[in-house]
Amino acid sequence: MRMKIAVLPGDGIGREVIQAAMRVLYATSEESGHKVLAEHADVGWTAVDQYGEALPPATRDICRRSEAILFGAVGLPDRDKTLPQDQRPERVALLELRKGLFANLRHIVMPAGLAHRCPLKNELITNGIDILIIRELTGGLYYGQPQGITGQAPSRRAVDTMAYSEHEIRRILKVGFESARKRRKKLASVDKANILATSQLWRETAVAMGQEYPDVHLEHIYVDNAAMQLLRRPSDFDVLVTENTFGDILSDEASMLAGSIGLVPSACLGEPDAQGSSATPFYEPIHGSAPDIAGRDKANPVGAILTVAMMLNHTFGLAKEARAIETATFAVLNEGQYLTGDLGGAAACSEVAEAIIERLRV
């Protein structure tokens, strides 16, 4: 197989972690015989300095003609604050590249050997944590109309609208059911069906779709309860699916369970439109550009390396190769010899990548 990948390291540690992740990808492809066709492109402040804009046309073109985008991070706080929010590289580049991608996946795993880094008590996590959070990304409160502030102070009024069509609900739930089917076959559908109309439609749709997936155990949880249960019984969760705003909050809460922000990978996926074309799937570690440690080979590359595993799985259907990367990565983390500073170790970003490559068995 040939894999056409747009590689966009971006700013700060984005450059270091993507370099490490690409080394692991090349090592995996060498072992498995699949060919990587990578085109590198600038994004973020790195692109502003070269081309005067955060997402130059050449970068867009490369993304458009690739099958997947591997993204590091963009943004530098000192420079960001010289621009209005909506013109900052993080907004401009990310919003544009993720347009049309409705499913945001975060894979949160707490490595057994790093249980002491998890903020929860030991007795709550003895069975491990391995949760796939699926958040709807293009609908709900953040996009519903009307939205805005009207009137004059002190009598102004603000409105946000939460709106979902059955089609939008069904397509994200489908990602949830299909993902659960490939994992431990448990799906937690999170809503607020006791109050919200959008959630009532969500739950009706989930119940109906559950008939098509009799092998998947479907649980319905109210969002406020889900926020508690993630901290009380995190090991029970397999796949969790929810709408945009709930997912934004729950996925950040759950990410903390991994032990470091540097460990968590993510993906944004879409589906072909009526013409059969779709936005390029987008893969990134969840952390930012971390300017406090950038340029010193100190960043944890694990989030980026596991992001490559997600890419192999979801875009290229290479489950065996993805598993090989995950197995090697967790072996290194559990051994504890090569850990970066965020995990209490002193290993360099490049050393962690090297240790993972040494353990790769495809």
Ligand X SMILES: NC(=O)c1ccc[n+]([C@@H]2O[C@H](COP(=O)([O-])OP(=O)(O)OC[C@H]3O[C@@H](n4cnc5c(N)ncnc54)[C@H](O)[C@@H]3O)[C@@H](O)[C@H]2O)c1
Query: By CB neighbour count within 10 A (0-12 exposed, 13-18 middle, 19+ buried), where does 39 fall?
Result: middle
- Closest residue (Cβ) to ligand X? 288
The count of other CB atoms within 10 Å of the CB of residue 228 is 11
- Does 292 interact with ligand X (rule: CB under 6 A)? yes
Among 18, 69, 76, 305, binds ligand X (CB under 6 A): 76
Task: Tell me which stretch binds ligand X (CB under 6 A): 75-83, 106-114, 165-173, 216-224.
Answer: 75-83
- Contact yes or no for 15/349 (Cβ under 8 A): no
User: Which helix H or strand E contains 249, and what residues bound it?
Assistant: helix 244-255
- Contact yes or no for 70/280 (Cβ under 8 A): no
307: closest CA among 106, 12, 125?
Answer: 106
- Contact yes or no for 291/10 (Cβ under 8 A): no
112: closest CA among 121, 124, 125?
Answer: 125
- Does 83 interact with ligand X (rule: CB under 6 A)? no
- Does 74 interact with ligand X (rule: CB under 6 A)? yes
**Which x/- pattern, by CB under 6 A, does the window 296-335 give for ligand X?**
---xx--x--------------------------------
Distance of CA 236 to the CA centre of its chain: 21
- Does 259 interact with ligand X (rule: CB under 6 A)? no
Among 66, 104, 251, 289, binds ligand X (CB under 6 A): 289
Instruction: Indicate if 248 belongs to the active site.
Output: yes
Among 176, 262, 270, 281, binds ligand X (CB under 6 A): 262
**Which x/- pattern, by CB under 6 A, does the window 214-253 give for ligand X?**
----------------------------------------
Given its phi and psi angles, is residue 208 left (phi above 0), alpha (psi -120 to 50 degrees) or beta?
alpha
195: closest CA among 158, 166, 224?
Answer: 224
Instruction: Indicate if 130 belongs to the active site.
Output: no
Question: Closest distance between ligand X and the C-beta of residue 263, in Å?
Answer: 8
Task: Tell me which stretch binds ligand X (CB under 6 A): 61-69, 183-191, 213-221, 282-290.
Answer: 282-290
Instruction: Indicate if 224 belongs to the active site.
Output: yes
Question: Closest distance between ligand X and the C-beta of residue 292, in Å?
Answer: 5
Question: SS3 for 204?
Answer: helix
Rounded-to-integer distance, Cα 111 and Cα 106, Å = 15
Structure tokens at 286: 């969840």
Instruction: Indicate if 142 belongs to the active site.
Output: yes
Q: Which of 61, 224, 273, 292 is catalytic?
A: 224
Question: Closest distance between ligand X and the C-beta of residue 136, in Å?
Answer: 18
Tell me the catalytic residues: 142, 192, 224, 248, 252
Residue ranges binding ligand X (CB under 6 A): 13, 17, 73-77, 80, 90, 94, 261-262, 284, 287-290, 292-293, 299-300, 303, 340, 342
